[in-house]
Structure 1
Amino acid sequence: MLPFPDGLRLPTARVPLTTATFVSGVLPPVVCYFAAAFLVLLPRTQPVRIVLWPITAILAFRAAMSLDVSMGQPKYNFLNRQLQQTMFFIAARTLEWTLQTKPFIRMARRSSKQNSVLDMFDLIFNLRGCGWDWSQGLYIPPETHPTSSRLAFATSTLVSGLKHLFLCGVINSAVQSFSPETFRSDDGGTIFDESLPPHLRYLRSSIIATLCAFSSYSGLQIGYELTVVLCVLLLRQHPDQWPPSFDSPWRSTSLRDFWSRRWHQWFRRQFIFLGGRPLSLLFGRVGGVIGAFLVSGFLHHVTLFAIDPSSEMWRMVLPFGMMGVGMIIERAVAGNKTGGWMGWIWTMCWMVLWGNVMVDGWARAGMFGGSTILDNTFLVAFAIRLIRH
């Protein structure tokens, strides 16, 4: 007997992910997502999209809140985190597509012939909007891999992905070594050691926060680069469809440089749509900047909620909101001239200062104690168990 027999009924408890619950829980919002992506490419489809969006949002919320893909083991809660994040963006992107009055236009194609199905797939997986008319102002980092052939590009990207895989594992172990009794536990603990004097306490926490920043960078690179390899080799996509996501963020000489150019821009559109645009109508440019970062903070809280439902929202919203405040201060003091070594020091100090708050929120929620996507043995066992059900 399948759970969710009432279709749109909201969940009262989490159920394990099996083949049956995948079909009844995960597949419906994904199908709606595909349908919305196809419709937004066609003229005169907004009425249909308006009817479809509430259904999509309810189905996405139901999947995010009702399914347990961790097999009941807290250390695999990162899978629940990924599920919630995915469903959040399904609801957010389809809402934007619902309000779109004119069809999206794909500017860059490998052939001059239009193919709505291929355009739909590109829109679904192209979070940044590379090659679309809705991505004006998007910064694309310069390519660092050879593009002379698909094989050379894929090989270089695979080597980079394996390097980041190794780096992520090493950094994660290094972070856990700071406090094995708490950071290796699902219960978590603070990065601030009260037994140390203040200067050593914050030096220690800042080192942990910096290591976590590089761990996040490496982890995101792994997922992107391995996806690139598969799409270029198996789907025969061209390398220019997969430009780099990062541009050496540690070289940033301003907060604006970091967040608008050097850090990945995957969710830029959603942050502007959900927070930046509404608050800019009320408070101008300042509201737009703060609004975009507040939505980012809320998303990071949503991902923590899967690990620890008691986690406090301010621990994510405050540091991300202060990134917006920092950018406003930066512009007021230096305009667009922030740069050089003084700009680099300012940027890194502000990032580390509020990074302490954010990483402490992660640590308290038990994020450091969980497994990561690197646990291949677990993934194989999980796939076998899912097939058996």
Structure 2
Amino acid sequence: MSIESLLHIINIQWGHWVHIANATADWARATLQPSDYAPLTWRSNIFASSYLIPVFTIAYLTRRPGTYALRLCLLPLTVLMIIRCTTRYRIEDPTYGWYNWLRGLAAIAGIARAIHFAVVPEGTLKLGEESLHDTPARSKTSAPRAGNRSSQLPAWLSDALEVGLAIRGVGWKFGHGAHVPEVRLPVERSAYLKRTAVSVLQTLLWVDFFDSFLETLPGMTVDGGTIFFQNLSPIFRYLVSTGLHLCTGLTVIYGLEMWYDIASLIGVGLFHQSPALWPPMHDIPSRITSLHEFWSKGWHQILRDTFLVLGGYPGQRIAGNIGMLFGTFIASGLFHEIGLYLGGAPFDARVLLFFIAQAFGILAEKIFKALTGRRVGGWAGTVWAAIFVLGIGQMCTESWIARGAGGRALVPPPVSVARRIVFPALRRLLATTSA
């Protein structure tokens, strides 16, 4: 065969692969951001959420012996259904665009859960179980175990919900190694429910306040905005941007705490789970003395398993512990960005870069310990962590604000206490004072 003939064959084959790649990209664009999406309403939400059926089906099967092959067969259908149900429906009012983004994030988390339930041959085991034929009562560990099935529900549904909603993995083997903060609420069921109900109201008010405050700033709309005001001097500009970055972070923290408390009310109140299975979501972030401590203890661990499944474990297979570190943060960055993309936002690499920077920061801490024999800590460790979280983190907040986060409502305006009462009262007070 001549060289010319070989090159001709290579060109033909290359053309085939380019054609396949382009067709795949076109399919992905049409699937992830279809132009024929339907409005998300209370009625259509039934169809938009129907992917929960196969997700919880796999969750049920992961607690049944001999279902490995069946789980693997259901996985591709489940993933495709999650993507299609998420991208097919969308809230049309841009004021509520946050909920489109949250639906995208929930879709990625659902995919990770489905993968976790499907690919583990032995199924999902509780602490103390060696196989699905065992019972947790045989456990000799003192760690909190997953609760028994609720007598209020059919056994099959109770089993599916028990494992499907165990996001943090408390009481399950897949949650081994995750930091569990010290209990700060009463362990007695009635007192726990009362304190948690109060916490839901408190966090809702904080979310409402910070979310409404961002909306009052100049240039904040559903189409864009910025935390860097160019008309200010550089020092004051970055002081303001840092404050707005903190404001955004507190909105996220309180929002997650609110939904976590609501989930714990359902678990403890309706399913009679032990309050020990619902420890605090995270330690107090302001007391953190290193970047590693911030991400492993100070920040919430609700999505820990999601990031390990999507990036940490594959990274570990490729490059050991370093691969696991970078794989976990890359997965975290892609989770946030692809989730927003599924919700209709344009892609922005700054979010991914922020999370990758955190991996480099933690790697630097590991190198410091290897060279000096001492861990990063003290006030210097706090400053180091602040550089990455409060400094570099501003690129992440700016990315969200630039895509309209500052002008979108987390709490519906008609029921927003801050929008209807607090800020109008403050405006009247300022007007009276200045008059």
Query: How does the TM-score come out when normalised to structure 2?
Result: 0.78
The equivalent of 2:234 in structure 1 is 198
Q: CA 1:375–1:157 in 2, change beyond 3 Å: closer, same or farther?
A: farther
Distance 2:343 2:409 in 1: 12
The answer to whether residue 360 in structure 2 is matched with residue 322 in structure 1 is no
Deviation per CA, 1:73-108: give whole Å up to 9, x if none.
Answer: 101112211221222222221112221111222232
Q: CA 1:73–1:374 in 2, change beyond 3 Å: closer, same or farther?
A: closer
Distance 2:318 2:95 in 1: 43
After superposition, where does 1:26-37 map in structure 2 within 5 Å? 26-27=49-50, 29-37=51-59
Aligned partner of 1:14: which letter?
A: Y
- Checking the alignment, whether the CA contact within 8 Å between 1:40 and 1:103 is kept in structure 2 is yes
The equivalent of 2:380 in structure 1 is 342
Q: How big is the shift at 1:24?
A: 3.7
Q: How big is the shift at 1:290?
A: 1.2
Aligned partner of 1:367: which letter?
A: A
The equivalent of 2:267 in structure 1 is 231
The equivalent of 1:59 in structure 2 is 81
Distance 2:377 2:292 in 1: 10
After superposition, where does 1:128-147 map in structure 2 within 5 Å? 128-147=168-187
What is the number of equivalent residue pairs in this alignment? 362
The equivalent of 2:17 in structure 1 is none
The equivalent of 2:198 in structure 1 is 159
Aligned match of 1:83 in 103, 107, 113? 103
Q: CA 1:52–1:376 in 2, change beyond 3 Å: closer, same or farther?
A: farther
Aligned partner of 1:330: which letter?
A: E
Q: How big is the shift at 1:195?
A: 2.5
Q: Report the structure number with the largest CA radius of gyration.
A: 2
- Checking the alignment, whether the CA contact within 8 Å between 1:49 and 1:98 is kept in structure 2 is yes
Deviation per CA, 1:189-217: give whole Å up to 9, x if none.
Answer: 12112223322222221111122111211
Distance 2:168 2:47 in 1: 30
Q: How big is the shift at 1:260?
A: 0.8
Deviation per CA, 1:332-375: give whole Å up to 9, x if none.
Answer: 11356222222111111221111110000011010110011455
Q: How big is the shift at 1:113?
A: 11
The equivalent of 1:246 in structure 2 is 282
Q: CA 1:368–1:330 in 2, change beyond 3 Å: closer, same or farther?
A: same
The equivalent of 1:95 in structure 2 is 115
- Checking the alignment, whether the CA contact within 8 Å between 2:102 and 2:340 is kept in structure 1 is no
The equivalent of 1:21 in structure 2 is 44
Deviation per CA, 1:163-188: give whole Å up to 9, x if none.
Answer: 222222222333344x33x22x1112
Equivalent residue of 2:314, what SS? helix
Q: CA 1:374–1:151 in 2, change beyond 3 Å: closer, same or farther?
A: farther
Aligned match of 1:215 in 223, 226, 251? 251
* Runs (5+) with no aligned partner, structure 1: 1-8, 379-389
Q: How big is the shift at 1:284?
A: 2.6
Aligned partner of 2:170: which letter?
A: C
**Percent sequence identity over aligned pairs:** 27
Aligned match of 2:296 in 249, 260, 279? 260
The RMSD of aligned alpha carbons is 2.4
Distance 1:104 1:231 in 2: 19
The equivalent of 2:142 in structure 1 is none
Equivalent residue of 1:134, what SS? helix
Distance 1:306 1:102 in 2: 32
Aligned partner of 2:278: which letter?
A: W
Q: Which moved more, 1:80-89 or 1:163-172?
A: 163-172
Aligned partner of 2:292: which letter?
A: R
Query: How does the TM-score come out when normalised to structure 1?
Result: 0.86
Aligned partner of 2:161: which letter?
A: F
Q: CA 1:186–1:142 in 2, change beyond 3 Å: closer, same or farther?
A: same
